[in-house]
Chain A
Amino acid sequence: MYRPIKYILSALTLSTVSLSASAQSVAPMTQDVRGFNAKFVAQIEIRNTYDTPQQTTVRVYTPDWHLVEPIYLSNANRLLGPNEKVIVTALISFANQSRRVVYICNSITPRRGGSGQTYRGEVCGKVSAQRLR
């Protein structure tokens, strides 16, 4: 009785680990951050999910898709090796608001055969920031 449960638990654990290890282009997809001054910091992990090196581009957008110019953005343009991951740190202004929502988007435009049409994969993590006074 005990052994099967043990095996199921092991299998579940393994499947969870493999899912998290192989399936991250952006993580986390949502996060809440707080800041005491006029700026806040957010971090996401981006991963090249392809088996070839890819150029990744990170941009920050408002919820209505206007480009935000961060005060600081690490690894905004980076060549990542196959399955390589990197942490992106963004320092963003509250823009005189007490709450601000932004999307930090990681995009890759790979070449996968075909001609005439390319596809840009874009994964966006949502950051909800609250200013504490």
Chain B
Amino acid sequence: MKPLKYIAGLSTAALILSGSASATDRNVNFRGVINNSCSLVVLNDGLLGVSSDQTILSSKQAGGLQGRVSVVTNGYGNTIEVISPSGFTVGPPSANMNTIFESEYSASGGTILSNLLGVVVSILGIGTTTIDIDATATKTSGTFESGAYELTTVVRCIVP
């Protein structure tokens, strides 16, 4: 009786194994994630030129130079904005007195934009965008006195 039982058991196991080996396909799944990212690289800082009446310090004045920033995005929904300086980081004591600050930007490459005020939030296309930025400080009364001046403009990449 015992040998018969073993034979029956073995044949059942063989049937199950052969059946499962021939009738089963398994998928091997591969997953990957590329995070949405934004990269900013300041390519060059700018220069401030001075107006002949010494009431304007600006990259738009003679001797001035725009700043240039490169932005790389790999997904939709990223935006760019340029935040105007709130004051000079370097300057004589009277530098910020009666002075207003503005910024403008244009973009080329992955995104095309022209002469927008810094406060305007713009949607970025995928890829590399080059942004040229102007910064201006204007005296509403009086003039800029002699000395070294420096201001910082913030370029922000963000998903609103």
Contact = CB atoms under 8 A, between A and B. Distances in A.
A115 B47 contact: yes
A109 B135 CA distance: 16
Nearest to B152: A118
Contact of A25 (B39, B43, B67, B159): B39
A101 to B, nearest CB: 11
Interface residues of A, number: 38
A29 B38 contact: yes
Interface in B38-89: 38-48, 57, 59, 65, 67, 69, 72-75, 77-78, 89
B37 A49 contact: no
Q: Is the interface of A mostly helix, strand, loop or mixed?
A: strand
B133 interface: yes
Interface of B, secondary structure class, is strand
15 contacts: A25-B157, A28-B37, A29-B36, A29-B159, A30-B36, A105-B156, A114-B45, A117-B46, A118-B151, A119-B42, A120-B152, A121-B42, A122-B157, A123-B157, A124-B159
A91 interface: no
Interface in A41-93: 45, 47, 49-50
B152 A29 contact: no
Interface of B: 34-48, 57, 59, 65, 67, 69, 72-75, 77-78, 89, 133, 135, 148-160
Contacts of A26: 37-38, 157
A113 interface: yes
A91 to B, nearest CB: 21
B38 A25 contact: yes
Interface of A: 16, 19-20, 22-30, 45, 47, 49-50, 103, 105, 107-126
Contacts of B47: 114-117
Contacts of A25: 37-40, 157
Which 4 residue pairs across A and B have the least CB separation, nearest first?
Answer: A114-B45, A121-B40, A116-B48, A117-B46
Given A119-B67, A122-B157, A114 B37 contact: no
A74 to B, nearest CB: 19
A19 B40 CA distance: 14
A81 to B, nearest CB: 15
B41 A49 contact: yes
B37 A116 contact: no
Given A20-B37, A27-B35, A29-B159, A115 B74 contact: no
Contacts of A109: 152
B35 A28 contact: yes
Contact of B40 (A29, A30, A49, A115): A49
Given A16-B34, A29-B37, A118 B150 contact: yes
